[in-house]
Chains A and B, each alone.
Chain A
């Protein structure tokens, strides 16, 4: 057995030893230990180095609020984690942990030179220096600071673990599995409500785990606990351990993080590491207990200095003594009991040093019985010991004056500065706190969510009171959730009720300027830093926090905020509530990024939307490009072809004979209802009333500001039914916009909107042979040019599949777009492809589509427009119904700057040298001989090599562009200056002859 283990004590398994490593050395612990308790059992107290001064640090707490004992842990490749709190990490065989923020080693750290220079490194020192010479900040000072700061090392390899997420609805969520939470869960569950009880620890029980001597309802505390958990199970309460409520959001929405595998030696491969629960609770009971405060005195940070409550937990829960010879320094009764328990377990307690002049007689008597010296009315003024405390300096205080010092030898200093109700989650809700003079603490006041605070969180002390209160709050919550509660009664023997007083830094006989009395351990903030901040004008607690970094460490001020406030208030000369408290923010404890990301990693980061024809494209060697959430076939290279060659071939084949294109990603919205046409008239710039069923029209959609938002061809299938198409990326936006108008502006319209993007597969056949291939497949519609004119739509059958067939053209060639239910998409594609063989059908991708449309001067919204382009700018005034009285954006179109001369207009650009393809995004100038900054007149929005025309073509938005037609402009590129002529936007077949086949 290790030196500090107490035989047969604690909840650890004495029959199950566990081997683990710390800084390369092997140690033995027991199943049920945390890394901290196991190291303490081995007499190891030195676990880390502080942030700024690199001071040696030990274990301060036994919980998730630990600021000091942070280590790196590793479990094989990719599974390294920095800043793990040794106080919560459960050990398993083979666990490897290492100390952080030290060089070359933990016991001898060169960084500790900072500690010698501490007078220089006062609060905010970096704001006052490092300014000269100017360039040194980035080159010298900042890199130095950055290297010195930071705690552990970031992981460097991809993480092999996965993370999960779940949603949960419950009547009542109880946070905290201590006595208050347990009794709350029971009374709530008894009423018939659905109850979830969570605790961050590996075991339920909270404080009961640290006080087995209690007798509850006639049973030893741990027997009572076991019975209680059994009862909860029978009542159907979902009890979740290792589960932290990390955030409390609007409308009783909470996030829980459940840790599933970090405590296991071997985790099953399919077990997620952590799981994020999103809970919507009818009522919430917060029973998070209270956190013990350190005392603030010189040297309160040496390894071996620990909170008394933590020592009690180590003793009872883990069967470990925090040392052999203890001094206990306290301002609260609770630490006396820790001293008694340790003494009873065979440790030597040199003295109990109480700041209060008159601790209760009962306590004194109990001390006397155990032969423990009591020094009441004393202060602590120093400690010594390099890597472990070996003595404590204490002095009597009379009427505020500090008497002569006495030094007490020890190897463990336990302290307690009283307790702070844990109200972090409550403050996430913006619930307000009020200062309670009696308990010298902030207690909950006005609440903003349906929640109930139970137990120590309300400043209650003593297990009986807390059980009773939990029971009541549970009942209260059940009633609020609409259930009929019943409450119980509790009887507790050996209940150690108590009280205490609150301090700022303890009085001292030494020069206060020299004291290293820590308030925020991890960030190395001392009492004098806080006073310095106040002296420098930082009178709001928020300023104090930011200037000193008090409360900004990984414990988020759980240990430091109250002490910091007491000192700041004293320095400002105001009462604590007037100086205020900083806001606690989610998460309650630091939470793994992976848990937030959940399943949304790698391929699942966002679904890859694929069309029904995607698999065919993949099999046929397509290169894909991401377009919003879709992946689209970009081009279909043949052996040895690069993108340019493939696109040139695809373009020529389509113009010459036949191309086939998967247009399924186009957004599709079905607009139905008696007012469908009115709705269309109001949404789109074009007139729709006279569009006959069976015909389609290019539609233009503006924002309220009059600028183009989307476009697409829209077919009218019947009087009350439109088939709208949108751009691929715009589909969701357009539907949202339509719904917004329909629901908020035009609730009078009788119209239904349905997204059908994924219901239809859309295949475009383009080229002079398009009709020849398609015709044999079509039933129920005569495809002849006279019967099915350009811009027509029909419901018919194609290859036996029900279809919506459009005749339209985005390429300038004879074109059909065939929509069939998605499940038939690939079958139809294959049939058409096969039939097209006789015409050398060419499957093409988005790049060819872009080139073909650019040759015809058709715009791509989002490429040739950028949210600042009106229909007229784009040369599409023809799409705006002249007689219309209203449509979205119409009013804006007449705003002065939208009709002013000199607007940017879409034009064509032909470079002087046709082999030069301008960069998309290149800026255009009228005068190439100016110096920077140059006056730019616009930019190139689309630019391609056109195989059909045997030269490059471009579209550009140029100031007053249409008036520049025929003139020369210049494009200064890093590669050189290019001359170009402004032209019309249509480069190919301006008369539209090719549609007439």
Chain B
């Protein structure tokens, strides 16, 4: 792998960029691997990378039905934060945040992790109570999160409307300064390149159609559009399509798949310095390095596998943006799109072993799993390599829906992006 650096860029510029190598080879699947990971999103690719790097397991394939990074990894609004309420979540997301901070260097790929701060607005007394609860919990968990008055919030994000006569006036805000955004495609590509460099096969355009189990019930491999691929360990990390796939192994997951839409405006010069989320008015905004306002909100209200998404949700989201930032009404929407997110009953992920020997699952990240990418990938690799969960993901087991030990961030905070 050629190292990326200003110097290598300069050298190649002089020679007309003729000598760059492919960042990852487009592999043909072999007949057998030690580990097969289904789903070449950030989570799957990252897990392959950590398997190779931290556990010395390199006979690994990451298989995707389409192009790598083409799922939610390449469709999300890239909000990264870790100021979650419950200890289990705080630990998981903070682990990820720690890894984010060195990821560009680790992967030798600029993922443009930008700690510009994520600010969450409180619009009523209930929001204030809820955010305070987060703040106190975060403080005692060592997670940064800070309360701002409306004036301080406006100083941090000048386009914000803090008029007292607003329909939902801003009563304050919780700000996590370590939080921010990253370039989603670069995360997938960076992991793919680094994993491939360590010998991982990345197989694209190869839908996995079923998971095969042997007579003892243990995993034997996966059926794919390009034939059967043998593996004693299979990890499924297929976001909105996980439940369908796990069904083929006889594992029923408590997942519902919903379209989640997002949109960008036309690019403009810097106007929006951070990320702002409002759960009550229901929208969140940031500005990409390209200059587009990146806007999202909650899921569509019906379950679906269609990535089209409806208009009403977009209307409401844009109205919400204009409510909080009235100067944006004359901006224009450039493009909107949707992804299919997998939602669990407690809005927290499932990342663990399954009742099937050799079968591991990482799903249920719903509307908020991009921020977890390095952390989730890291502990998924551990779980697969050692056949036991890392302490960080141990609480995120499937069994909690039977026993009732839920980790319900959504109930505590309405939305969990």
Interface residues of A (CB under 8 A from B): 51, 79-83, 119-120, 122, 125-132, 134, 137-138, 142-143, 145-147, 149-159, 161, 163, 247, 249-250, 253, 255, 276, 278, 428-430, 511, 513-514, 528, 532, 535-540, 542-543, 546-547, 549, 552, 554, 556, 583, 585-587, 590-594, 596-598, 600-603, 605-606, 608, 625-627, 705-707, 729, 862-863, 866-868, 892, 895-898, 919-923, 925, 932-934, 936, 939, 972-974
Cβ of B97 to closest chain A Cβ, rounded Å? 14
Are A158 and B326 in contact, with the CB atoms below 8 A? Answer: yes
In angstroms, Cα B110 to Cα A137, docked, is: 9
In angstroms, Cα B412 to Cα A866, docked, is: 5
Cβ of A535 to closest chain B Cβ, rounded Å? 6
Q: Which A-chain residue is minimally distant from B410 (CB atoms)?
A: A867
Chain A residues with CB under 8 A of B134: 921
Are A83 and B319 in contact, with the CB atoms below 8 A? Answer: no
Q: Which A-chain residue is minimally distant from B23 (CB atoms)?
A: A537
Chain B residues with CB under 8 A of A146: 270, 287, 289, 291
Which listed residue (B8, B87, B318, B345) contacts A597, Cβ 8 A? B318
In angstroms, Cα B345 to Cα A513, docked, is: 55
Q: Which B-chain residue is minimally distant from A865 (CB atoms)?
A: B411
Q: Which A-chain residue is minimally distant from B190 (CB atoms)?
A: A127
In angstroms, Cα B259 to Cα A430, docked, is: 15
Q: Which B-chain residue is minimally distant from A923 (CB atoms)?
A: B136
Give 15 pairs: A residue, B residue, CB < 8 Å, sorted on A: A129-B5, A137-B113, A154-B271, A158-B327, A278-B311, A537-B21, A540-B67, A585-B335, A601-B326, A605-B320, A867-B410, A867-B412, A897-B400, A932-B142, A972-B140
Are B269 and A596 in contact, with the CB atoms below 8 A? Answer: no
Are A83 and B332 in contact, with the CB atoms below 8 A? Answer: yes
Chain A residues with CB under 8 A of B81: none
| Those of B384-403 within 8 Å (CB) of chain A | 400, 402-403
Cβ of B120 to closest chain A Cβ, rounded Å? 14
Chain A residues with CB under 8 A of B23: 536-538
Contacts A80-B330, A137-B110, A594-B329 known; A921 to B130 CB distance under 8 Å?
A: yes
Are A625 and B125 in contact, with the CB atoms below 8 A? Answer: yes
Chain A residues with CB under 8 A of B139: 923, 932, 974
Closest 10 A-B residue pairs measured CB to CB? A867-B411, A150-B291, A513-B16, A921-B133, A537-B22, A921-B132, A895-B404, A128-B4, A594-B329, A540-B67
Contacts A127-B189, A591-B332, A594-B329 known; A939 to B136 CB distance under 8 Å?
A: yes
In angstroms, Cα B330 to Cα A897, docked, is: 52
Cβ of A581 to closest chain B Cβ, rounded Å? 13
Are A156 and B124 in contact, with the CB atoms below 8 A? Answer: no
Q: Which B-chain residue is minimally distant from A101 (CB atoms)?
A: B269
Chain A residues with CB under 8 A of B223: none
Cβ of B398 to closest chain A Cβ, rounded Å? 14
Which listed residue (B17, B105, B168, B310) contacts A528, Cβ 8 A? B17
Contacts A255-B311, A601-B319, A867-B410 known; A593 to B330 CB distance under 8 Å?
A: yes
Chain A residues with CB under 8 A of B135: 921
In angstroms, Cα B140 to Cα A191, docked, is: 73
CB of B109 closer than 8 Å to a CB of A: yes
Chain B residues with CB under 8 A of A932: 139-142
Chain B residues with CB under 8 A of A547: 185, 189
Are B331 and A540 in contact, with the CB atoms below 8 A? Answer: no
Cβ of B179 to closest chain A Cβ, rounded Å? 12
9 additional contacts (CB under 8 A) given A122-B13, A586-B335, A933-B142: A119-B17, A132-B105, A253-B311, A536-B20, A585-B336, A597-B319, A606-B168, A895-B404, A925-B140
In angstroms, Cα B20 to Cα A537, docked, is: 10
Cβ of A969 to closest chain B Cβ, rounded Å? 13
With most chain A CB atoms within 10 A of its CB, the pick from B23, B105, B134 is B23
Are B267 and A127 in contact, with the CB atoms below 8 A? Answer: no
Are B185 and A546 in contact, with the CB atoms below 8 A? Answer: yes
Chain A residues with CB under 8 A of B167: 602-603, 605-606, 608
Q: Which B-chain residue is minimally distant from A974 (CB atoms)?
A: B139
Q: Which A-chain residue is minimally distant from B136 (CB atoms)?
A: A923
Are A142 and B266 in contact, with the CB atoms below 8 A? Answer: no
In angstroms, Cα B17 to Cα A120, docked, is: 9
Which listed residue (B129, B316, B411) contacts A921, Cβ 8 A? B129
Contacts A126-B110, A608-B167, A626-B168 known; A145 to B289 CB distance under 8 Å?
A: yes
Are B140 and A936 in contact, with the CB atoms below 8 A? Answer: yes
Cβ of B309 to closest chain A Cβ, rounded Å? 8
CB of B244 closer than 8 Å to a CB of A: no
Contacts A590-B334, A921-B134 known; A596 to B318 CB distance under 8 Å?
A: yes
Are B130 and A127 in contact, with the CB atoms below 8 A? Answer: no
Contacts A513-B17, A554-B334, A921-B136 known; A543 to B67 CB distance under 8 Å?
A: yes
In angstroms, Cα B204 to Cα A892, docked, is: 42
Are A155 and B327 in contact, with the CB atoms below 8 A? Answer: yes
Chain A residues with CB under 8 A of B327: 154-159
Cβ of A84 to closest chain B Cβ, rounded Å? 9
Chain A residues with CB under 8 A of B318: 593, 596-597
CB of B354 closer than 8 Å to a CB of A: no
In angstroms, Cα B20 to Cα A128, docked, is: 11
Are B140 and A129 in contact, with the CB atoms below 8 A? Answer: no
Cβ of B297 to closest chain A Cβ, rounded Å? 12
CB of B156 closer than 8 Å to a CB of A: no
In angstroms, Cα B132 to Cα A514, docked, is: 58
In angstroms, Cα B158 to Cα A223, docked, is: 55
With most chain A CB atoms within 10 A of its CB, the pick from B140, B321, B403 is B140
Chain B residues with CB under 8 A of A79: 330
CB of B207 closer than 8 Å to a CB of A: no
Are B311 and A151 in contact, with the CB atoms below 8 A? Answer: no
In angstroms, Cα B310 to Cα A79, docked, is: 30
What 1/0 flags go to B97-113 for Cβ under 8 Å of A? 00000101100111011
In angstroms, Cα B404 to Cα A892, docked, is: 7
Chain A residues with CB under 8 A of B114: 137-138, 142
Q: Which A-chain residue is minimally distant from B407 (CB atoms)?
A: A868
CB of B408 closer than 8 Å to a CB of A: yes
CB of B152 closer than 8 Å to a CB of A: no
Q: Which B-chain residue is minimally distant from A586 (CB atoms)?
A: B336
In angstroms, Cα B281 to Cα A602, docked, is: 12
Chain B residues with CB under 8 A of A540: 66-67, 70, 204-205
Q: Which A-chain residue is minimally distant from B131 (CB atoms)?
A: A921
In angstroms, Cα B12 to Cα A960, docked, is: 65
With most chain A CB atoms within 10 A of its CB, the pick from B130, B327, B402 is B327
Which listed residue (B287, B328, B411) contacts A155, Cβ 8 A? B328
Cβ of A419 to closest chain B Cβ, rounded Å? 24
Chain A residues with CB under 8 A of B294: none
Cβ of A184 to closest chain B Cβ, rounded Å? 24
CB of B232 closer than 8 Å to a CB of A: no
Contacts A154-B331, A587-B336, A972-B140 known; A601 to B290 CB distance under 8 Å?
A: no
| Those of B245-277 within 8 Å (CB) of chain A | 265-271
Q: Which A-chain residue is minimally distant from B19 (CB atoms)?
A: A535
Chain A residues with CB under 8 A of B131: 921
Which listed residue (A81, A127, A143, A539) contacts B110, Cβ 8 A? A127
In angstroms, Cα B140 to Cα A602, docked, is: 39
Cβ of A276 to closest chain B Cβ, rounded Å? 8
In angstroms, Cα B116 to Cα A146, docked, is: 13
Which listed residue (B110, B113, B270, B310) contacts A150, Cβ 8 A? B270
| Those of B292-338 within 8 Å (CB) of chain A | 306, 308, 310-311, 314-316, 318-323, 326-337
Contacts A535-B22, A597-B315 known; A590 to B329 CB distance under 8 Å?
A: no
Are B328 and A626 in contact, with the CB atoms below 8 A? Answer: no
Cβ of B32 to closest chain A Cβ, rounded Å? 25
Are B70 and A542 in contact, with the CB atoms below 8 A? Answer: yes
In angstroms, Cα B5 to Cα A131, docked, is: 8
Chain A residues with CB under 8 A of B26: 537, 539
Are B115 and A625 in contact, with the CB atoms below 8 A? Answer: no
CB of B9 closer than 8 Å to a CB of A: yes
CB of B353 closer than 8 Å to a CB of A: no
Cβ of A134 to closest chain B Cβ, rounded Å? 6
Chain B residues with CB under 8 A of A862: 126
